[in-house]
């Protein structure tokens, strides 16, 4: 099990991060440390020097009502009202490092963490909430499926498992 990211710590230069999307910039600059301390999310950063943040993503536990899943997925699952998932809450690459496929590397790193964790804590899929069309296109390119009647997308853990077998 090998990852390219490390947990966010206070010595990382959060204030210099800029991906061009205010919501993602503000999160890493102002909110991420508090969320990590409160254990509401884990924030993983990509950095060569353990200071400058090239990119980051966040993970947390969640659940999804079975009514939001397509029937083709539901028929393979137990009929619980809510099903456990891992939420990939944010994923961003600093402007200085874009067009280097770091978004894809961060996505693969996050999926590996999700898959590894699912061996110990139930999670039947990874859920994302794309913030715009560019993000939706990115996740679609990597096989995420739109959930009916919501802006959310998901990737079943069974699909993720195939990446790492």
Whole-number Å distance between alpha carbons of 129 and 29: 20
Q: Could you confirm whether 142 is annotated as catalytic? A: no
SS3 readout for 109-145 = HHHHHHHHHHCCCCCCEEEECCCCHHHHHHHHHCCCE
Task: Spot the catalytic one: 57, 80, 139, 142.
Answer: 139
Any residues with CB less than 8 A from the CB of 117 and at least 6 apart, and which? 86, 123
CB proximity list for 106: less than 8 A, separation 6 or greater: 4, 5, 46, 55, 56, 57, 91, 93
Residues designated as active site: 139
């Amino acid at each position: 099990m090998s990852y390219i990211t490390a947990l966010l710590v206070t010595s990382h230069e959060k204030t210099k991060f800029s991906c061009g999307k205010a919501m993602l910039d503000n999160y890493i600059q102002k909110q991420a440390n508090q969320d990590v301390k409160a254990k509401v999310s884990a924030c993983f950063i990509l950095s060569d020097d353990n200071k400058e943040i090239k990119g980051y993503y966040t993970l947390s536990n969640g659940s999804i009502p079975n009514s939001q899943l397509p029937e083709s997925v539901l028929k393979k699952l137990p009929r619980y009202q809510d099903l456990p998932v891992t939420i990939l809450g944010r994923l961003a690459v600093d402007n200085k490092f874009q067009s280097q496929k770091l978004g894809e590397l961060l996505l693969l790193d996050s999926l590996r963490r999700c898959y590894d964790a699912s061996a110990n804590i139930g999670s039947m899929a990874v859920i994302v909430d794309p913030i715009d069309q560019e993000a939706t296109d990115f996740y679609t390119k990597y096989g995420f499926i739109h959930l009916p009647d919501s802006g959310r997308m998901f990737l079943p853990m069974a699909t993720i498992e195939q990446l790492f077998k």
